[in-house]
């Protein structure tokens, strides 16, 4: 919980930054020199309304967006035709000014847009779930995630501030680096690439863990979706126990507390629970979609 006075300040900052979100309609006058990031959410803001971008630094006009970054771009109502996605080997910049060719190493890219960077020659060797084809956009420049053990690395530390449904600010800090992943991470104390820690090692940030998941108590833990592997011998013993329990009972009558009946009932019940969770997840995705397609400002 953030103390109340700070809450109001954060709220005010968020509201102010929203108030400055683009208001110039299509064909209106604008300057792309005023494109900037929302300090709280890091969303790109221009003088134009959501469905347009500003064409030039001087005497620009708000032109409708030429491309979209995903299938549900912000600001379009349901059923409205959205700009096309960009073909492979190109990307749609945050302002939506049209598909651009991938950016070479060392050139400018936009925050959290690794997919704007061209892959390194030996991309398959460097690619991991923490970069795009071995490249990443770090501190505004395309870089390869190729720094090896004990070599100097770079860190990007971004704090995102947003409000949850109750108006409570949520702060998320994302730390990224250009060490080879997932074997290495950039140690913030030495600024050198070090080995990531195995499950159970102490950590402060997700990046320090090989599983990229630092638990709340400061130890590396498995990813939540890691499947629990049950060894075949464990299955065999389980089945044997159930069967022995069931048929060991000489007077085999079908009662609810009978082990076999109980097992089948449990399986059916678990199946129902799983289906309900699945439905809930679908509803969340649907809500996300609806929020993206609503044209009103969400703030
Ligand atoms: C911008 O517009 C003004 C007024 O229409 C004009 O005088 C000026 O030359 C324009 N500047 C550029 C760089 O086009
Ligand atoms: C990664 O880059 C290679 C070489 O440019 C390309 O063939 C491949 O499709 C890329 N993979 C992805 C997931 O974009
Ligand atoms: C790819 O890059 C890594 C380090 O950046 C290097 O050790 C490796 O030999 C390279 N592999 C190829 C096939 O070039
Ligand atoms: C990483 O890639 C850059 C660009 O190709 C290269 O200059 C640098 O030497 C590479 N670093 C390592 C450690 O391979
Ligand atoms: C990242 O930035 C936040 C806020 O500026 C700071 O509190 C934190 O210590 C930084 N973390 C690292 C690893 O630099």
Closest approach atom of ligand 1 to CA 59 = 1
Pocket of ligand 3 (CB under 6 A): 122, 125, 146
Distance (Å) from CA 145 to ligand 4 centroid: 9
Distance (Å) from CA 119 to ligand 2 centroid: 7
Does residue 1 have a pLDDT over 60?
Answer: no
Q: Are 94 and 115 in contact (CB under 8 A)?
A: no
Dig out the tokens for 201 from the structure: 């090692």
In-domain check, residue 252: yes
Q: Are 142 and 107 in contact (CB under 8 A)?
A: yes
Of the residues 83, 110, 143, which one is the last residue of a structural domain? 83
Of the residues 23, 53, 83, which one is the last residue of a structural domain? 83
In-domain check, residue 174: no
Q: Kindly report the protein residue whose alpha carbon is nearest to atom 14 of ligand 3.
A: 122
In-domain check, residue 203: no
Q: Are 100 and 108 in contact (CB under 8 A)?
A: no
Number of Cα atoms under 13 Å in the Cβ half of residue 280? 6
> How many distinct structural domains can be found in the chain?
2
In-domain check, residue 116: no
Mean pLDDT of 5-14: 49
C-alpha gyration radius of the chain = 26
In-domain check, residue 196: no
Shortest-distance ligand to the CA of residue 174: 5
Q: Report pLDDT for 211.
A: 93
Mean pLDDT of 95-114: 96
In-domain check, residue 34: yes
Distance (Å) from CA 93 to ligand 5 centroid: 27
- Among residues 103, 138, 136, 100, which one has the least CA distance to residue 118? 103
Task: Calculate the average pLDDT of the chain.
Answer: 85
Full residue range of the structural domain in which residue 78 is found: 1-83
CB burial readout 90-128, b (16+ within 10 A) else e: ebbbbbbbebeebbeeeeebbbbbbbbbbbbeebeebbe
Does residue 255 have a pLDDT over 70?
Answer: no
In-domain check, residue 144: no
pLDDT in tens, 38-82: 989 899 999 999 999 999 999 999 999 999 998 888 889 888 999
pLDDT in tens, 117-166: 999 999 999 999 999 999 999 999 999 999 999 999 999 999 999 888 89
Beta bridge partners of 173: 159
Give the whole-angstrom CA distance, residue 55 versus residue 269: 58
In-domain check, residue 23: yes
Of the residues 66, 83, 100, which one is the last residue of a structural domain? 83
Give the whole-angstrom CA distance, residue 23 versus residue 49: 5
Dig out the tokens for 127 from the structure: 């690619």
The residue written with tokens 């129902």 in the block is 272
Dig out the tokens for 92 from the structure: 């749609």
């Amino acid at each position: 919980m953030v103390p109340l006075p700070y809450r109001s300040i954060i709220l005010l900052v968020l509201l102010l930054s929203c108030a400055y979100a683009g208001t110039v309609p299509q064909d209106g006058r604008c300057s792309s020199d005023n494109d900037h990031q929302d300090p709280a959410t890091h969303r790109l803001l221009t003088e134009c309304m959501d469905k347009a971008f500003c064409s030039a630094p001087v005497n620009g006009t708000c032109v409708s967006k030429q491309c979209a970054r995903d299938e549900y771009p912000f600001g379009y109502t349901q059923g409205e035709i959205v700009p096309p996605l960009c073909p492979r080997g190109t990307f749609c910049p945050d302002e939506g000014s049209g598909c651009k060719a991938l950016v070479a190493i060392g050139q400018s890219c936009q925050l959290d847009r690794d997919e704007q960077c061209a892959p390194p020659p030996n991309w398959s060797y460097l690619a991991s779930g923490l970069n795009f084809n071995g490249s990443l956009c770090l501190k505004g420049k395309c870089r390869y995630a190729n720094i090896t053990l004990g070599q100097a690395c770079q860190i990007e530390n971004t704090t995102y501030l947003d409000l949850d449904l109750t108006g409570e600010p949520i702060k998320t800090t994302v730390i990224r680096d250009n060490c080879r992943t997932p074997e290495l991470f950039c140690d913030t104390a030495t600024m050198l690439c070090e080995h990531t820690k195995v499950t159970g090692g102490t950590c402060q940030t997700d990046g320090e863990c090989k599983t990229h998941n630092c638990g709340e108590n400061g130890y590396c833990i498995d990813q939540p979706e890691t499947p629990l592997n049950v060894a075949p011998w464990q299955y065999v013993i389980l089945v044997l126990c159930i069967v022995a329990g069931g048929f060991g009972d000489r007077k085999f009558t079908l009662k609810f507390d009978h082990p076999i009946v109980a097992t089948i009932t449990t399986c059916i019940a678990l199946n129902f629970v799983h289906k309900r969770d699945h439905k809930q997840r679908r509803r969340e995705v649907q809500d996300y979609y609806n929020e993206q397609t609503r044209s009103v400002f969400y703030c």
